[in-house]
Amino acid sequence: MDLTLKRTENLVNAFETINDKSNFKALINFRRTVYGFKILIDVMHNELADADVICTKEYLTKKVSSLASRATIINFINDQISTGTLIASDSVVDGRIKVITPSDHLRNDYRLWLEYLAK
């Protein structure tokens, strides 16, 4: 099989399976918009890479600014915090800063989704 075709099929599979409500429920809201998907990837990358950068709303608005307005991004993040897929906790460096991390449910669904895609 052509490598380009195989990679394209992997992408199609990724977009189809992220909508699987029975297996990857925590991912559903992130797949609805391109900026939501980008936020998911940035939050998970920051978490998994144990980066020196603190993942905050401001950090995410800068990373996603080419895809949506600041207000739209902040509203999306706030919605995810209120539904419990993202968690905002006080920074140990500065209590005024809220660090954004994935919930355990989001971490688990994301890991399962990537494992499913790797098959």
What pLDDT does residue 65 have? 95
Of residues 14, 7, 26, the one with CA closest to residue 108: 26
Please name the helix (run of DSSP H) or strand (run of DSSP E) that holds residue 102, with its range, or none.
Answer: strand 98-102
pTM of the predicted structure, to 2 decimals: 0.85
pLDDT of 101 over the 90 cut? yes
Q: State mean pLDDT over 24-29.
A: 87
Confidence band for 57, pLDDT divided at 50, 70 and 90: very high
Q: Give the total number of structural domains in the chain.
A: 1
Q: What is the b/e burial string over 19-51, where b = at least 16 CB atoms within 10 angstroms of the residue's CB?
A: ebeeebebbebbbeeebbbbbbebbbebbeeee
- What residue numbers bound the domain in which 29 lies? 3-118
Confidence band for 53, pLDDT divided at 50, 70 and 90: confident
